[in-house]
Structure 1
Amino acid sequence: MIARAKRRCFHSLRFRFFASVALAAAVFVIVMIVLNLLFFHSYYLLQKKNRLTYVYNRINEQYNGDISILDEKIKQLENRDNIRISIVNDYGEYIYDTIFARDRSFGWYNALTQNPFGKTLYVYDSNELEQKGYTFSTLNDPDGSTAYLALLGRLDTGDMLLLRIPTAALRENQSLNFVFLMISGLISLSACLLAGYFIGKRYTRPVIEMTEVANSVAKLDFSKKYTGSHNDELGELGRSINQMSDYLETAISDMQEMNRQLQIEIDEKQRIDDMRREFIINVSHDLKTPIALIQGYAEGLRVGINESEEDKNYYCDIIIDEAHRMNHLVRQLLDLSKIELGNIVPEKTDIEAYELAEAVVSKTQVMWQEKQLNIDMSGIGPQLLHGDYDLLERALLNYMTNAIDHTPEYGHISIFTTEDSCHLLLCVRNQGSRLNPEEMDKIWDKFYKLDKSRTRVSGGGSGIGLSIVRAIMTAHHGGCGVRNVEDGVEFYLSLPKNTETV
């Protein structure tokens, strides 16, 4: 882990920027030192030679053999440039010398007059002297104490001019310059390193921030945004990354929503396919029994199993009953399909709730009287239901027959109305066993049947009755439902209020 962190540090943009600045500063300092070591001496000599040449030309232009004319000028040159000047005539006699002009002692005079140039010059180029009028060389004082860079030139008057500058200053300047360059180089290098660190930190911070944003986007985390305020290319890049993050977030959200919708459609298609297969199975199962009975009794009649007229009539009655049962199932399926497809449009009118309930109770009188049930309609109010009378009667009839089937003998069934701000509810409550909560949504599906002990569907147990109820109420833009109550179950029809009639 530590080694990986070190590798990441060494490969980071900040470290490479800092290293580049450090390397450039180090190269600059090294080049300066090398140039100083290699070329400072030659450069210094070149500048001094150019100065000696300039002084030679000035003296040659102004000197006419009378040294008094140049006395002040020569002193200025000597003091300003530290140049020692000597002029010798053709006979080897000194006309002027810097040291002799200051110290006219006999020793100096004797030394100068007895030793003009010849033994003091180490070497000089006589050909250059003849061609250019001057040449350069090196020499020492008569006592050998000081070395000089010298210019030996012939003046237009025929006299010889010797200009010399001490070279000790050159060696001293070169040493001091080298030490100064070393110190200034180290200081400059340190300053460059420090500046490189802070500059690199300043310019790499937005890059690091943008890298974090890009990594978050790669992980589909769009919460991080670039927050820099730079107005340069880095700022534009950061804002572009933010825009890209927003676009990707929107695109991915849209794609996820499309995938969700597609999954819903796939699930719905699968549900419809399952319902279709289940529908075929259920219809086949519900038709198989009556068809088998009809076929069996018809074959018995044909072969004459029973000779008596009473048995023949019994067989015919069974065949007729089973045919009616099949016809009832097929008609229920056709009616359900018509309602669901919108082929049956409710013809809405204002209906008294009590009148509708009374008609249903009357039609089922034989059934509830057979079980000696108590029917209570005292809870029905004066409300008017706005809907199709026949369809609502059929829906309420399904509820009533289910209630009769599942109410124990001597039990109680109540029909009543209630309302809220937007809907009128017509309810049928019966004593008996409750429904499991997970079954309350499934009982409205076609052919859904509970266990035999609590089959809550109408139409001879076909499992279509409650599906027809739901289709009827959907056509009325209403609803239907069921809830468990203290001593049984309550089914209800919900209709929107007719504000015009109210």
Structure 2
Amino acid sequence: MRHTIRFKYTMILIGVVASVIVASWIVINLCLEPYYMQSKQRTLIQSHNQLESQLFSDGTVTDETKMYLRRIKENYNIEIFLWDSSQNVLYSSSNADALKNGNDPLSYILGRQQTVQLLKSTDEYQINKTYDSNLEAYYMEMFSTYTGGSFSIMRVPLQSIEETVNLVNRFHIYIALGVAFIGIVAAWFLTKNMTAPILRLSSLADRMARLDFTAKYEGGDDNEIGILGQNMNHMSEQLEKTILELKTANLELKRDIEQKTKIDEMRQEFLSNVSHELKTPIALVQGYAEGLKEGISDDPESMEWYCDVIIDEAAKMNNMVKKLLTLNQIEAGREQISMEHFDLISMIEGVLNSYRILIEQKEAQVELHSPESLYIWADEYMAEEVIRNYVGNALNHLDGERKISITVERRDTKARIYVKNTGKPIPEEDIGRIWDKFYKVDKARTREYGGSGIGLSIVRAVMESHNCGYGVENQEDGVAFFCEFDCG
């Protein structure tokens, strides 16, 4: 609290008010009496000059002069005694019986008064501060001489100035207390109004430090604080914009790093899978070729079997390389999609005809449930690759009743194809991974029919390049793969 701006401003304002009160008390006590004395001197001198102009050269006092002298008495509380050159009383503003009885005026003055201080003296008058022992009071007294020999005494009591100073001091105490109270209250509210915008700016800066840029300074002041608030609003907007750009750049960089990491992992995985997939057929080809070269068997039938194995393994490697090239071209976007409008049913029947021999060898029962024709929009070659991989996959995993059911349905603007085969379901933990390259649920069985684990990866790449849906479902008696194409 002691270190807050509000507390410091309040103390400063209280100090200023206290300083003004003390300074005014000092000025009153030191300057009021001298100022009063100077003012009375000027009044006496002015009265002397006016009386000089009122008197005739023979010292005669007219009614007009007496009227003037009474006004001086009433207005300035000045006692006036006027004598002629023969010391006869011409005018007295108070009881002057002692003078009327023929007493010497100088004796009268000296008998009652004692000069305390000479204030001013000229050829025409002398001003003294005197003490009247009878009245026990101080006076400012002027002894003046005029043309024609007349002279006067003018005096004004000084008791009033002392009373005035004492009264002013007492009144000043009450005023000071009131002003001090009002000053403290005013200082408190004034500093509150002064520091409130600063506190709002402090809160705004704190929220900005916590990256909360929704806070804005809403003060409408046109002073320096208002300008600072507007600048902070502008700074907040710029910081928000800059941080947003940095976050965007950071996300892009993070995605690039993740993509690079993913590519590196895919490259390593690809090399590992390719080397693994090629290791067995190459070893077989090498082994049988070395056997033929070394003449392990002279039996023509055995030699032919060796050659058949070599040819079969070479065909498998060739097929895998072709699929890898196809998949790579589709994923890299180098395989241009040529959209065509063709009959899906005719294309499916053509795929089944190409698999006719294999279907007979597998003793499979194939059923096609579809309309007579259904035209779709797709790349015909890629769409055929999808159907071919689905049918081939179904034949390779056929079991149980050994049935394959191909169903084609139209759903609004989409044509959905189901390829279902009876057999074992896919384990739930493997369903999300069967679309990955080289992933095999049953590696022994895949090796048995010469699968490479690339077919379903080609399906995913084709369907995603067409922005169409695809997937797999475990059913009660088998597995059903599906895909969709636009037919609107």
Question: TM exceeds 0.5?
Answer: yes
Change (3 A) 1:402 1:108: farther
CA RMSD of aligned residues (A): 2.9
**Which amino acid is the alignment partner of residue 18 of structure 1?**
T
- Match for residue 139 of structure 1 among 123, 130, 147: 130
Partner residue in 1 for 2:61: 67
Q: Give me the whole-angstrom Cα distance separating, in 1, the residues matched to 2:98 and 2:483.
A: 148
Q: Give me the whole-angstrom Cα distance separating, in 1, the residues matched to 2:98 and 2:470.
A: 145
Name the SS of the counterpart of 1:117 in structure 2: helix
**Which amino acid is the alignment partner of residue 243 of structure 1?**
H
Partner residue in 2 for 1:4: none
- Match for residue 21 of structure 1 among 10, 13, 16: 13
Q: Do the aligned partners of 1:371 and 1:410 also contact (CA within 8 Å) in 2?
A: no
Q: What whole-Å deviation, never above 9, does each CA across 1:454-494 have from its counterpart, x for those lacking one? A: 86x99833121112223333454544322333433221232
Change (3 A) 1:423 1:114: closer
Q: What whole-Å deviation, never above 9, does each CA across 1:46-73 have from its counterpart, x for those lacking one? A: 1111111211121122223113352111
State, as a whole percentage, how many aligned pairs show the same letter.
31
Q: What whole-Å deviation, never above 9, does each CA across 1:340-362 have from its counterpart, x for those lacking one? A: 44554455544433332223223
Q: Do the aligned partners of 2:419 and 2:482 also contact (CA within 8 Å) in 1?
A: yes
Greater alpha carbon shift after TM alignment, 190-199 vs 380-389: 380-389
- Normalising by structure 1, report the TM-score: 0.87
Structure-to-structure mapping, 1:121-200, within 5 angstroms: 121-122=114-115, 129=121, 131-141=122-132, 143-200=134-191
- Match for residue 473 of structure 1 among 439, 463, 467: 463
Number of aligned residues:
484
Structure-to-structure mapping, 1:244-323, within 5 angstroms: 244-323=235-314
Q: Give me the whole-angstrom Cα distance separating, in 1, the residues matched to 2:133 and 2:376.
A: 143
Partner residue in 2 for 1:3: none
Q: Give me the whole-angstrom Cα distance separating, in 1, the residues matched to 2:451 and 2:337.
A: 26
Q: Give me the whole-angstrom Cα distance separating, in 2, the residues matched to 1:226 and 1:472.
A: 55
Q: Give me the whole-angstrom Cα distance separating, in 1, the residues matched to 2:245 and 2:431.
A: 35
Q: Give me the whole-angstrom Cα distance separating, in 2, the residues matched to 1:462 and 1:344.
A: 21
Structure-to-structure mapping, 1:38-57, within 5 angstroms: 38-57=30-49
How big is the shift at 1:437?
5.1
Change (3 A) 1:189 1:304: same
Change (3 A) 1:107 1:348: closer
- Match for residue 360 of structure 1 among 351, 368, 373: 351
- Match for residue 75 of structure 2 among 69, 75, 80: 80
Q: What whole-Å deviation, never above 9, does each CA across 1:197-239 have from its counterpart, x for those lacking one? A: 2222223222222221221111112233333344444334333
Name the SS of the counterpart of 2:140 in structure 1: strand
Name the SS of the counterpart of 2:128 in structure 1: strand
Q: Give me the whole-angstrom Cα distance separating, in 2, the residues matched to 1:123 and 1:292.
A: 142
**Which amino acid is the alignment partner of residue 377 of structure 1?**
L
Change (3 A) 1:417 1:176: same
- 1:496 and 2:468 are equivalent in the alignment: no
How big is the shift at 1:271?
1.1
Change (3 A) 1:288 1:380: farther
Q: Do the aligned partners of 2:285 and 2:310 also contact (CA within 8 Å) in 1?
A: yes
Q: Do the aligned partners of 1:329 and 1:459 also contact (CA within 8 Å) in 2?
A: no
Q: Do the aligned partners of 2:438 and 2:452 also contact (CA within 8 Å) in 1?
A: yes
Partner residue in 1 for 2:369: 378
Listed as ranges, the gaps of 5+ residues in structure 1 are 1-8
Change (3 A) 1:310 1:421: same
Q: Do the aligned partners of 1:413 and 1:429 also contact (CA within 8 Å) in 2?
A: yes
Partner residue in 1 for 2:453: 463
Listed as ranges, the gaps of 5+ residues in structure 2 are none
Q: Give me the whole-angstrom Cα distance separating, in 1, the residues matched to 2:343 and 2:299.
A: 53
- Runs (4 or more) in structure 1 with deviation over 6 Å come to none
- Match for residue 419 of structure 1 among 410, 434, 450: 410
Name the SS of the counterpart of 1:122 in structure 2: strand
Q: Give me the whole-angstrom Cα distance separating, in 1, the residues matched to 2:250 and 2:133.
A: 107
Change (3 A) 1:11 1:51: same
Q: Do the aligned partners of 1:10 and 1:16 also contact (CA within 8 Å) in 2?
A: yes
Q: Do the aligned partners of 2:396 and 2:449 also contact (CA within 8 Å) in 1?
A: no
How big is the shift at 1:380?
5.0
Q: Give me the whole-angstrom Cα distance separating, in 2, the residues matched to 1:178 and 1:41.
A: 12
Q: Do the aligned partners of 1:89 and 1:95 also contact (CA within 8 Å) in 2?
A: yes
Q: Give me the whole-angstrom Cα distance separating, in 1, the residues matched to 2:133 and 2:12.
A: 56
How big is the shift at 1:278?
0.9
Change (3 A) 1:175 1:359: same
Name the SS of the counterpart of 2:317 in structure 1: helix
**Which amino acid is the alignment partner of residue 216 of structure 1?**
R
Q: Give me the whole-angstrom Cα distance separating, in 2, the residues matched to 1:155 and 1:329.
A: 146
Q: Give me the whole-angstrom Cα distance separating, in 2, the residues matched to 1:108 and 1:421.
A: 141
How big is the shift at 1:364?
2.6
